[in-house]
Chain A
Amino acid sequence: MRHYVIAGVLVVVVAIATYAGLMAVKLMPVEASAQSIPIDQLWNVEIAIICFLFALIMVPLIYSLIVFRRKKGDTSDGEHIEGNNALEITWTVIPLITVLVLAYMGTYTLGEVMAVDPNALVINVTARQWSWEFDYPEGFTSTELHLPVNRQVVLDMQSTDVIHSFFVPQFRMKQDILPGRITTYRVTPNLIGTYQVECAQLCGLKHSYMTAPVIVSSQADYDSWIQTQVAAAAVAAQTPLGRGQQLVAKYGCTGCHSVDGSSTGIAPTWKGLYQSQVKLNNGTTVTADEAYLTESIVNPSAKIVNGFQDNVMPKTFGTTLSQSQISDIITYIESLK
């Protein structure tokens, strides 16, 4: 009998100690969204259950290994206990009830997380190998996601190529992004700060580096950022160089083509490219003039630069970009001497 009492007390002690220990360590990142609050509450309940179950199994186990270890010279068998139906039913029914309660709590929490604010701010997100594009309703594109604090934002997301995923740990949520359809991510940031969106679905070579800044600021700061962006876009739209620069940022070209001469191993650098001599993988050499650069954008498989692979550059720019947009991009490439 005393074994049960000692073990029982130890179970409670270990459960509490484990729980206290885990709560003392900062297990999760800071909570930066309204949705993170119910999620973390559910998480804490689950940690408590985990600590209890951990103790419930580990304590009798370790206790037994010490107390019921076969003593030297004892060759007898253990007690012939085959089972106990009442106990079996108990430890089937109680866990069953527990998981059903937990499932209900999970349903409730999910409902809270998915709550829709009809006045949510809508921002379009395009994910591509390996960069993020944020299109604001004011008509400009940004490579950084700026959000106003305490306002629900719904991101309408789509991919141009493979499956990506939008994840901000501090928001506690992620959502996969698919080609050919829109998936949505609804968040109400509630803590001003700078975070990072990371792609959370393996999307190829540079998956590790597919990140972008997420800046949550006050409504006033957000509004002034919007105004700055709109103005900058208007200025840039007036020159080929400005437009080219905007297009390059929007389409994430520098994810693979560096502008400073450094080697990415994925695509040729643009620094000094314009009108240079380029060696192809079939041994010939060509000049990187307008015609060559246009072809490289519209039909990338036509000529492959020596040392690089076919089937990496997206082949859709011929349909996505107009002739003048391509020309603007080439103007930008030309400027990188």
Chain B
Amino acid sequence: MKKFFTSALIRGLLWQLIGWIAGALFLTGIRVLMGLNPFVTSQYFFTEPAWVFGGLVGALSYVASTGAMTDWFKWAKGEEVPEHREDPPGWEKYLNVSLDHKVIGVQYTVTALFLLCVGGLFALIFRTELAHSGLQFLTLQEYNTFMSLHGIVMIVGILLGVAGLMNYLAPMLIGAQDMAFPRLNAFSYWVAPPAAILLLSTLVFGGFDTGWTGYPPLSERAPLGMQMFFLGVAVAGWASILGGLNLIATVLRMRSKGMTAFKMPIFIWAAIATSLISATATQLIGLSFQMVMFQRLFGMGFFDSDKGGNPILFQHLFWFYSHPAVYVFVLPGLGIISELVPVFVRKPLFGYRFVAMSSLGIALVGFLVWAHHMFVSGMNPYLRIPFMFSTLLVAVPTGVKFFSWIATIWKGKIEMPSPMLFVLGGIVVFLLGGLSGPPNATVATDLHLQNTYWIVGHFHDTMFGGYIFPFFAAIYYWFPKVTGRKMNDTLGKWHFWLMTPSFLVLTLLMMRVGLLGMRRRVADYDPALGFDTYHLIMTIAAYIIAVSVLIFLYNLIVSIKHGESATGNVWNSRSPEWQVPSPMPVHNYDRPFEVIGEPYDYGLPGSVYVRFEDKKSKGH
């Protein structure tokens, strides 16, 4: 117990609070010197600028207190720092700073699961409210806040989950001992807990009622919670940016001998495409939010039409990131699907090179489509045409992936343990998400669909199919690598068969009511619309999904100690990480390997992907 409370994770909470108050006091002091009012006694005591500055100081205090920045401070002071560190054995290493990418990957994944559950809880709360027309137990402000928080908490949860997958897997898949910049990696993780605290703190600062998109002018006049939302997203964004940077450098520089571009595991291609986006575009959501924060704090009229500002500028800056962001969410998931299908059908990934290029293609074209979120915004009406073309174009590389998966599965020898079930579920759900895209892309139909529940159904299918299902698949699949044990397959099947039909019902009904005219982000709806029954069913589906997640969590936790022992190549995979024992050795590969074959040459007798050398690895 003591180890828990003195861990970096928990210590950081205290330091974040201290930093928050200290920063607020400091800013208040400056206000006093400037002759401005120091406090607002009727609201939250400190002024908004004080809370915002304090929030930033608090987040930095959290990270600094964990020790994630200590080595850099030492370098600045000119001190020597040992290059590698050994983690203590046991679970404490997961609660403290570790430079080991596997530990960091688990930290990201657990934090992601936590946030996904919190976001899911928020959804359950407002879905319960929506089950029947009329307001039953939430106030309008509470509804808007829970709905908005659901969105951003899920998004940040997915971003952290993406980081978890990429950090855990990438070095292993390319034969490296760690990421290129291990300290940067640790820092990138440790900004996530304080960012999550900032996001959840909106609940005590009056919430925010704009949805996760935070459009001004509404966000300019929203409660103080709005600022905590902006700040939380900005801090979380650093993890995405730095993690992406780290991944690119790692893959460029640390691949094993013989691992040429088209002999890398396909997930690495997905990771590269994802990282190209996350390392660059993320800055734009930070900038757009910063500009609204400054509009609130300093009266800077970027988006205020009274001052010659332009609210649509916000939307351009925001969506320039937030569209590519969805490819950050799904490219890794689609990469997981591509990675696992060959293993469970014992057949090569069909058209590997084309699949690899399709990830890059999606990332590139994904930068050119953002204004499809703005077709009814009042933007230049003729500018909508090129964006319609570019948006429809994204379907082409996406289609290449689908066709490739089907061609891989066709005539394979198919087995369907839990990981494969979730891969298949991902394909089906993402298919629905993808197919519901083109009507949004064609401007004329989007005039009807935009801001309705059709869109909500579309993005839930793409997010779940493109990320959440593959995320579950990856956890079931690599759990033995982390723990040396398997998760229970029967419980996995229960998880799958409860979650998947419920999710399909949920999203198909969302699309139905959306087509009939139900707007999104509404706390209440007219009973005369006749949607009550649909909403009741959707709420019940949501609860069934929640039960399935509980089964998954139970399975996850219990299997750590009591799962069936699985120390070898449980899935009979060709991939290098399965050629060494489980749990994965601390330094990954004590003997380096050379790539001498193709990654997915299942069905080719005598073919081998990697060959381990006889001499031991250098280093340490």
Residues of chain A whose beta carbon lies under 8 Å from any beta carbon of chain B: 3, 27-29, 38-39, 42-43, 46, 49-50, 53-54, 57-58, 60-61, 64-65, 68-70, 74, 76-84, 87-88, 91-92, 95-96, 99-100, 102-103, 105-107, 109-110, 112-114, 161-163, 165, 167, 169-170, 172-181, 183, 196, 198-209, 211, 265, 281-282, 311
Complex contact B400–A80 (CB within 8 A): no
Complex contact B442–A78 (CB within 8 A): no
Complex contact B523–A208 (CB within 8 A): yes
Bound CA–CA A269/B314 (angstroms): 37
* Distance from A312 Cβ to chain B, minimum over Cβ atoms (Å): 9
Q: Given that A68-B411, A176-B377 are known contacts, is A28 also in contact with B522, CB under 8 Å in the complex?
A: no
Q: Given that A65-B416, A200-B450, A204-B209 are known contacts, is A82 also in contact with B352, CB under 8 Å in the complex?
A: yes
Bound CA–CA A170/B516 (angstroms): 9
Complex contact A99–B442 (CB within 8 A): no
* Distance from B443 Cβ to chain A, minimum over Cβ atoms (Å): 5
**B residues less than 8 Å from A80 (CB atoms):** 347-348, 601-604
**B residues less than 8 Å from A196 (CB atoms):** 526
Q: Which of B399, B400, B402, B442 contacts A103 (CB 8 A)?
A: B442
Complex contact A65–B424 (CB within 8 A): yes
Complex contact B521–A61 (CB within 8 A): no
**A residues less than 8 Å from B348 (CB atoms):** 80-83
Bound CA–CA A3/B412 (angstroms): 13
**Nearest residue, chain B, Cβ from A113:** B444
Complex contact B139–A178 (CB within 8 A): no
**Nearest residue, chain B, Cβ from A36:** B448
Judged by DSSP, the binding face of A is: mixed
Bound CA–CA A28/B448 (angstroms): 10
Complex contact B442–A163 (CB within 8 A): no
**A residues less than 8 Å from B416 (CB atoms):** 65, 69
Q: Given that A39-B447, A165-B451 are known contacts, is A265 also in contact with B139, CB under 8 Å in the complex?
A: yes
List 10 tightest A-B contacts by C-beta distance, closest first: A180-B305, A169-B517, A106-B442, A78-B347, A80-B603, A78-B412, A83-B351, A99-B392, A208-B522, A77-B346
Complex contact B140–A68 (CB within 8 A): no
**Nearest residue, chain B, Cβ from A43:** B445
Interface residues of B in 189-229 (CB under 8 A from A): 209-211, 215, 217-218, 221
Beyond A165-B451, A205-B141, list 5 extra A-B contacts (CB 8 Å): A42-B444, A43-B439, A57-B406, A78-B602, A80-B602
Bound CA–CA A46/B428 (angstroms): 19
Q: Which of A49, A61, A204, A209 contacts B406 (CB 8 A)?
A: A61
* Distance from A186 Cβ to chain B, minimum over Cβ atoms (Å): 11
Per-position contact with A for B31-66: 1 when CB-CB < 8 Å, else 0? Answer: 000000000001000000000000000000000000
Interface residues of B in 138-183 (CB under 8 A from A): 139-141, 144
CB<8 Å pairs between A and B, sample of 17? A27-B515, A46-B439, A64-B409, A64-B411, A64-B414, A79-B412, A82-B598, A103-B388, A106-B443, A112-B444, A165-B376, A174-B448, A176-B376, A178-B305, A180-B306, A181-B305, A211-B526
Bound CA–CA A88/B411 (angstroms): 18
Complex contact A88–B351 (CB within 8 A): yes
* Distance from B566 Cβ to chain A, minimum over Cβ atoms (Å): 19
* Distance from B532 Cβ to chain A, minimum over Cβ atoms (Å): 15
Tell whether B441 is near chain A: CB-to-CB under 8 Å.
yes
| Central interface residue in A161, A180, A196, by most chain B CB within 10 Å | A180
| Central interface residue in B211, B414, B428, B517, by most chain A CB within 10 Å | B517
| Central interface residue in B42, B399, B415, B521, by most chain A CB within 10 Å | B399
Interface residues of B in 338-359 (CB under 8 A from A): 345-348, 350-354
Q: Given that A29-B516, A172-B448 are known contacts, is A50 also in contact with B438, CB under 8 Å in the complex?
A: yes
Q: Given that A50-B435, A95-B399 are known contacts, is A83 also in contact with B350, CB under 8 Å in the complex?
A: yes
Interface pick from B79-87, B92-100, B265-273, B378-386: B378-386
Complex contact B392–A102 (CB within 8 A): yes
**A residues less than 8 Å from B603 (CB atoms):** 77-81
Complex contact B209–A281 (CB within 8 A): no
Q: Which of B218, B403, B600, B601 contacts A204 (CB 8 A)?
A: B218
* Distance from A275 Cβ to chain B, minimum over Cβ atoms (Å): 27
Q: Given that A178-B305, A179-B217, A179-B305 are known contacts, is A202 also in contact with B442, CB under 8 Å in the complex?
A: no
Complex contact B602–A77 (CB within 8 A): yes
Complex contact B402–A181 (CB within 8 A): no
